[in-house]
Amino acid sequence: MPSERDTDRLIDIRDHIALARQFVGASHDDFVRDKKSVLAVTRCLEIVSEASRHLDRNWKTAHAEVPWAQIAAAGNVYRHDDPPVHPQRVWHTVQNALPMLAAIVDAELRVRGISPE
């Protein structure tokens, strides 16, 4: 039986992926110049990272296609800013890494009876 805490973490991941996508905007150049947006998206990625660390291990194993260790490690980089987080890397993460994670999380939430927002 899926835990309520895991469901809450999946909702956090879903919601912060959506915010990151919204905050990143449509233009790479505009995004990397806008420090406020870069910081907002970086914070969303921190939250995704932290929530992913606490998901059930068996569930993550069932979704081995997701690079869970990289997601967890990225959170440390975002939090400690050492080395500095480059806006281009944040953009790339949102554009290329988050879609797969979002699809997996959305599918799991639907299985749990949670409709997409």
Residues 114/26, Cβ–Cβ less than 8 Å: no
What is the domain partition of the chain in residue ranges? 4-111
Both tokens of 105, joined, read 């999380």
Both tokens of 25, joined, read 């905007």
Residues 55/9, Cβ–Cβ less than 8 Å: yes
> Can you give the pLDDT at residue 1?
47
pLDDT tens for residues 3-37?
899 999 999 999 999 999 999 998 999 999 999 99
Q: Is the pLDDT of residue 81 over 80?
A: no
